[in-house]
Amino acid sequence: MIKIEKVSLSYDKRTVLEDITLNLKEKSFIGIIGKNGTGKSTLLKSIAGLLKPVKGNIFIDDKNVYDMKKNILARKISFMPQTMQFDFSFNVKDFIMFGRYPYTNMFKMASAEDFKTVEDVMKLTETSELEERNINELSGGERQKVLLAQTLVQQTDIVALDEPTSHLDIGSQATIFKLLKMLNEKYNKTIITTVHDLNLAGEFCSDIVFLDDKKVINFGSAEKVLNYKDIEKVYDVKVVVHTNPISKKPVVIPVYN
């Protein structure tokens, strides 16, 4: 259970979010949506222990995230950044192994358990055939899968992801989100992700946090949050909300005239 209590966050001395209170349930699949620059990533990073709130507290299982030892927190919640620069390209298998860092100390070599975990995760994320490739040679979709694999070998109950599918084609978007869904349903992981694409959020997330103007304007199921009134007000575009005939989930269609 993640409790966000009266949290205010600022980024570059500018207040992005003010007095946010949220309770995120364990084993849920949470999507954070909102316009560019509303603080989706800021909120996500503060939950992951990367950005200390200026006011308020964040608790994971009743422990304050910013009082926890960093290596303990690293076994509780993992974080996949939106972009990673690779000035030096790593071999995919080495790269995924880096995610095991919280389980090794500075000098320790990777143990049999570390190798086993990496192997299992690579199978799960279908990255096994990439293991000898260099991270810089991969396509966008392959690279995101490898980043996800690195995040998963950290074996945390909570996985936080910052725009895991930006710049991906719809096929790769589906692959990543289906993986996340499987992790959520089969492996009981709590998934928290920021997402631009309202339809992906509607299709996959069990709960959606809708941010606007420094506040949470709505929080709940896709059907509840993705209503045309809020979307039109926030994004300043006319939309029609339909229901996906197969999954029965809401689909947002913009109307341009």
Partner 1 sequence: MNKILKFVLLLIILVITFIIAMISGISDISVMEMLKSLFSTGEGNTYTIINQIRLPRVIIAIVAGAGLACSGCVFQGVLRNPLADPFTLGISGGAAFGASIGFAFGITKLSWIFLPLLGFLGALLSVGLVYILNMKKEFDSNTMILSGVVASYIFSSAVMLVFSISSSDQLYSAFMWLMGNLAFFDERILPMVIILVMAGVVILCCLGNVINIISLGNEKSNSLGINTARTVKYIFLLSSLITACIVSCCGVIGFVGLMIPHITRKFVGNNNKVLMPFSAVVGAIFLLICDTVSRTVIAPVEIPIGVITSIIGGLFFVFLLLRKAGKISI
Indicate the residue among 60 and 226 with the shorter CB distance to partner 1: 60
- Label residue 46 exposed, middle or buried (CB < 10 Å: 0-12, 13-18, 19+): buried
- C-beta of residue 43 within 8 angstroms of C-beta of residue 22: no
Dist CA 60 CA 181 (whole Å): 22
Q: Shortest gap between Cβ of 241 and partner 1 (angstroms)?
A: 34
Task: Choose between 4 and 225: whose C-beta lies nearer to partner 1.
Answer: 4
Q: In terms of CB distance, is 78 or 172 closer to partner 1? A: 78
Residue type at 123 in one-letter notation: K
We find the least distance from the C-beta atom of residue 195 to partner 1, in angstroms, to be: 18
Please name the amino acid found at residue 171. Answer: G
As measured in angstroms, the least distance from the Cβ of 37 to partner 1 is 18
Nearest of 219, 202, 222 to residue 211 by alpha carbon? 219
- Classify residue 25 by burial, with Cβ atoms within 10 Å: 0-12, 13-18, 19+: exposed
- 87 burial (CB, 10 Å; 0-12 / 13-18 / 19+) is exposed
Alpha-carbon distance of 136 to 72, in angstroms, equals 31
In the complex, what is the shortest distance from the CB of residue 218 to partner 1, in angstroms, rounded to a whole number? Answer: 28
Please report, as ranges, the residues that interact with partner 1 according to CB under 8 A.
45, 48-50, 70-75, 77-79, 81, 84-85, 87-91, 94, 98-99, 101-102, 104, 106-107, 136, 154
Select 14 or 70, whichever has its Cβ closest to partner 1: 70
Q: Least CB distance from residue 251 to partner 1, whole Å?
A: 32
Nearer to partner 1, 84 or 182 (CB): 84
